[in-house]
C-alpha cells in the first residue's frame, strides 16, 4: 500500500499533466459524462496541457538567446509583455508545481461563487468564466506567492486561490456597469485581464470628451489596419519589428553571430514567424484544455447562482465598436512605444517588448469603452495612457517575480497595476510576520 501511495505522490502527481488529467477525469465522473466522453475528454485535455508546456518552453527558447546577447552587449534585460510570455515564464518557474494551478483555479472559482452567492452582503455579481485567462491568473498568482513568501505549499495554494477568487468577483462586478452601457444591456460583464481598467477608463473618458464628441464609428479607417485583427499575422509582425529594434545594439555582425551565420534579416523574419507558430501551439493547447472547462463552469454557475452576471472574454466588446477597437490598439501601441523610448533614454536596466495581447485586447476594448463615453478624443488619450501605464506597471511587476531570466509578464492593465499593488501590500504585511522570502 505504501508503495502505491508513494508512486502516486512522488511519481504520478508530480507530473503536472497527470495531475490535471486526474482532476479533469474526476470532473467528468462527477458530471456522469459517460465512458467514451470521460476517456476522450480526459486524454485530450492532457494532450492540450502538454501542448501548452511545449509551446511555452519553445516560446521562451526563441527569446532567450536574443535577450542574453543584448544583455551581454548593453546590460539591458529584455522582457516580453504578453499573456503568453507570462504563461511561458510562470510554468518554467513553477516546474513540477505547475499542476497546482488547477487547485488554485478550483479554489478561486469556489471563492468567486461564494462571494456572489452572498451577494446581498458582498454586493458581488460577476462570475468569472474565461478558462484561458483563468488558468493564466492561477499560475501567475501561484508564482508570485511562491516567489515572495516562505509558506508551506498548502497555504501557498489556498492563499493564491483566495486572492484570485476575490480579484475575479470584485473586478468583474466593477466593470459590469460600463460594459452593460457599451453593449446596450448585452447581459454580460468582462472576465479577462483589464476589467479594472475598463471601469477606470469608463469613468475617466467622459471628462476627456472635449467640446465636440466625435464617434469613431463615423470615421473611415485605412484598410491595412485590418491586418492587425489577424492574430497569426499580428504576432509575427509585432515580434519581428520589436525584436528587430531590440537587436540594434548588437549590430549586423552581432545578430549573425546569434543566428549562427544565417543572414540577419532572414533570422529576424524567422524569429517573428516562430513566435507566431509557438503561439498557435499554445492556443491549440489552451483550446483543448479549456473549452470543456468553460462549459462545465458555466453549468455550475447557472445552477448555483443563476442571477449572477457571466463574466466572459473581453473580445466580446470589440464587435460593438470595430473602429474604436482598431484605434484603441493603435494608440495603445503608440503609448507603449513612447514608454519604451523613455526606458531607453533614462538608461533603465529593463526593456519591455510589447506582444499582441496587451495591445490588442487591452487597447481594443478600452478604445471601445472610451469611444462610447467620450468619443475619439477620449480614445486617443485613454489608450495612449493605457500603453504607458501597462509598460511601466510591467516593469514594477517584473521586480516582484524574483526571476531575472523570466521571459516576461502579462502586460495587461490589471496585472500591471492592481496585482503588483496588492502584492506590495501583502509583502508589507508578510514582513511583519517574517514570512517574506
Q: C-beta of 284: minimal distance to other proteins in Å?
A: 9
108: left (phi over 0), alpha (psi -120 to 50) or beta: alpha
Per-position x/- string for 131-160, each x denoting binding to other proteins as judged by CB under 8 A, each - no binding = xxx---------------------------
Q: C-beta of 394: minimal distance to other proteins in Å?
A: 20
The one among 79, 143, 360, 419 contacting other proteins by CB under 8 A: 360
Query: Residues, the chain, total?
Result: 437
Q: Are 122 and 115 in contact (CB under 8 A)?
A: yes
Residue 37 binds to other proteins (criterion: CB under 8 A):
no
The one among 43, 270, 283, 435 contacting other proteins by CB under 8 A: 283
Which residues are CB-contacts of 64 (< 8 A; sequence separation ≥ 6)? 405, 407
- The residue written with cell numbers 461563487 in the block is 113
Residue 411 binds to other proteins (criterion: CB under 8 A):
no
Closer CB to other proteins, residue 243 or residue 312? 312
Q: Which of residues 223-282 bind other proteins (CB under 8 A)?
A: 226, 229-234, 280
The one among 210, 262, 287, 341 contacting other proteins by CB under 8 A: 287
Residue 97 binds to other proteins (criterion: CB under 8 A):
no
Closer CB to other proteins, residue 67 or residue 132? 132
Closer CB to other proteins, residue 6 or residue 230? 230
* Rounded Cα–Cα distance for residues 356 and 86 (Å): 13
* Rounded Cα–Cα distance for residues 311 and 187 (Å): 9
Q: C-beta of 226: minimal distance to other proteins in Å?
A: 5
- The b-or-e profile of 388-421 (16+ CB within 10 A means b, else e) is bbbbbbbbbbbebbeeeebbbbbbbbbbbbbbbe
Residue 320 binds to other proteins (criterion: CB under 8 A):
yes
Q: Are 132 and 182 in contact (CB under 8 A)?
A: no
Residue 437 CB neighbour total at 10 angstroms: 12
- The b-or-e profile of 133-167 (16+ CB within 10 A means b, else e) is bbbbbbbbbbbbbbbbbebeeeebbbbbbbbbbbb
Residue 315 binds to other proteins (criterion: CB under 8 A):
yes
Q: Which of residues 191-230 bind other proteins (CB under 8 A)?
A: 192, 226, 229-230
Closer CB to other proteins, residue 158 or residue 232? 232
DSSP secondary structure, 220-283, as one string: ---GGGGGGGSHHHHHHHHHHHHHHHHTGGGHHHHHHHHTTTS-HHHHHHHHHHHHHHHHHHHH
| Neighbouring-strand partners of residue 149 | 436
Closer CB to other proteins, residue 203 or residue 287? 287
Contact range with other proteins by CB under 8 A, out of 38-46, 200-208, 309-317, 389-397 = 309-317
Q: How many of the chain's residues bind other proteins (CB under 8 A)?
A: 40
Q: Considering only CA atoms, which of 310, 317, 429 is closest in space to residue 363?
A: 317
Residue 286 binds to other proteins (criterion: CB under 8 A):
yes
Closer CB to other proteins, residue 230 or residue 349? 230
Residue 130 binds to other proteins (criterion: CB under 8 A):
yes
Q: Which residues bind other proteins (CB under 8 A)?
A: 129-133, 183, 186-188, 192, 226, 229-234, 280, 283, 286-287, 290-291, 294-295, 298, 310, 312-316, 318-322, 325, 360-361
Amino acid at each position: 500500500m505504501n508503495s502505491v501511495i508513494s508512486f502516486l505522490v512522488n511519481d504520478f502527481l508530480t507530473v503536472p499533466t497527470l495531475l490535471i488529467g486526474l482532476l479533469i477525469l474526476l470532473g467528468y465522473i462527477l458530471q456522469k459524462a459517460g465512458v467514451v466522453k470521460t476517456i476522450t475528454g480526459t486524454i485530450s485535455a492532457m494532450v492540450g496541457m502538454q501542448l501548452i508546456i511545449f509551446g511555452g518552453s519553445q516560446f521562451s527558447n526563441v527569446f532567450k538567446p536574443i535577450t542574453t546577447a543584448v544583455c551581454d552587449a548593453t546590460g539591458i534585460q529584455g522582457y516580453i509583455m504578453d499573456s503568453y510570455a507570462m504563461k511561458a515564464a510562470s510554468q518554467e518557474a513553477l516546474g513540477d508545481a505547475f499542476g497546482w494551478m488547477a487547485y488554485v483555479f478550483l479554489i478561486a472559482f469556489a471563492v468567486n461563487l461564494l462571494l456572489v452567492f452572498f451577494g446581498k452582503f458582498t454586493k458581488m455579481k460577476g462570475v468569472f468564466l474565461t478558462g484561458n485567462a483563468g488558468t493564466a491568473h492561477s499560475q501567475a498568482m501561484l508564482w508570485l506567492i511562491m516567489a515572495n513568501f516562505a509558506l508551506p505549499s498548502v497555504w501557498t495554494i489556498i492563499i493564491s486561490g483566495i486572492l484570485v477568487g476575490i480579484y475575479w468577483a470584485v473586478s468583474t462586478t466593477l466593470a459590469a456597469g460600463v460594459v452593460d452601457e457599451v453593449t446596450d444591456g448585452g447581459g454580460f460583464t468582462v472576465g479577462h485581464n483589464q476589467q479594472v481598467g475598463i471601469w477606470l477608463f469608463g469613468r475617466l473618458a467622459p471628462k476627456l470628451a472635449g467640446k465636440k464628441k466625435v464617434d469613431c464609428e463615423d470615421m473611415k479607417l485605412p484598410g491595412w489596419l485590418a491586418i492587425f485583427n489577424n492574430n497569426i499575422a499580428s504576432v509575427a509582425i509585432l515580434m519581428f519589428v520589436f525584436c528587430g529594434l531590440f537587436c540594434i545594439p548588437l549590430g549586423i555582425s552581432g545578430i549573425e553571430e546569434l543566428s549562427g551565420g544565417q543572414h540577419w534579416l532572414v533570422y529576424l523574419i524567422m524569429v517573428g514567424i516562430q513566435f507566431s507558430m509557438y503561439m498557435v501551439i499554445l492556443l491549440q493547447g489552451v483550446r483543448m484544455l479549456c473549452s470543456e472547462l468553460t462549459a462545465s463552469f458555466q453549468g455550475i454557475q447557472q445552477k448555483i447562482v443563476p442571477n449572477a452576471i457571466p463574466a466572459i472574454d473581453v473580445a466580446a466588446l470589440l464587435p460593438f465598436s470595430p473602429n474604436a477597437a482598431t484605434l484603441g490598439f493603435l494608440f495603445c501601441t503608440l503609448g507603449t512605444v513612447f514608454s519604451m523610448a523613455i526606458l531607453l533614454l533614462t538608461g533603465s536596466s529593463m526593456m519591455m517588448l510589447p506582444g499582441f495581447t496587451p495591445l490588442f485586447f487591452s487597447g481594443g476594448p478600452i478604445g471601445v469603452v472610451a469611444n462610447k463615453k467620450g468619443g475619439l478624443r477620449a480614445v486617443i488619450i485613454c489608450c495612449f495612457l493605457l500603453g504607458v501605464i501597462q509598460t511601466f506597471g510591467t516593469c514594477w511587476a517584473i521586480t516582484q517575480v524574483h526571476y531575472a531570466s523570466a521571459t516576461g509578464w502579462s502586460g495587461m492593465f490589471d496585472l500591471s497595476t492592481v496585482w503588483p499593488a496588492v502584492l506590495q501590500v501583502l509583502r508589507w504585511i508578510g514582513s511583519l510576520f517574517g514570512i517574506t522570502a
